Amino acid sequence: HSPFKEAARVAILTDCALYVLDLKGFTLKDRMSLDDISGISLSSLQDGVIVIHADGNSIKRSQTPNTSMENLKVTGKGDILLNLEQFAIEFASRLYISVKAYKKSPRVVVDTKLLYTVEKKISSLNFRADVKATKTSVKKTGENSFEVEVAI
């Protein structure tokens, strides 16, 4: 059983914010202003995982359908994690260019260990290539740490 709940999402990048929508009903799940983005992290195993780091702020998760984008509040909830499969590099590049044009260059990390924050707790993802695996899986290895086995 995976500690992460996968859900199909649509990521929309505008000239002032990143929006993450639920694929089924196109309801808003996350919104992060480009001004709040401090960094972008990608796994070095080409698995499509990208972490978008907030500047100590993120957005309040939408709990009700049809929540207007203007009614979301910054809460310091944490970073946004996405699995963009083969589009991670392209998305990260466009996000970097957009954030740089909006304010300053975000920090970029490509590594087999990525740190992220959720609800003000720092967690880690440790990536490991597995030639025997048929699909990518996630195992909890500690209170705030996870191992991601990547099928290659």
SS3 readout for the chain: CCCCCCCCEEEEECCCEEEEEECCCCCEEEEEEHHHEEEEEEECCCCCEEEEEECCCCECCCCCCCCCHHHCCECCCECEEEECHHHHHHHHHHHHHHHHHHCCCCEEEEECEEEEEECCEEEEEEEEEECCCCCCEEEEEECCEEEEEEEC
Query: Do the Cβ atoms of 47 and 150 come closer than 8 Å?
Result: yes
Whole-prediction pTM: 0.74
pLDDT tens series, the chain, 152 aa:
455 677 888 899 999 999 999 888 889 999 999 998 999 999 888 888 899 988 764 334 344 444 333 333 334 557 888 888 888 899 999 999 999 998 888 989 898 888 887 766 778 888 988 888 888 788 888 888 888 888 77
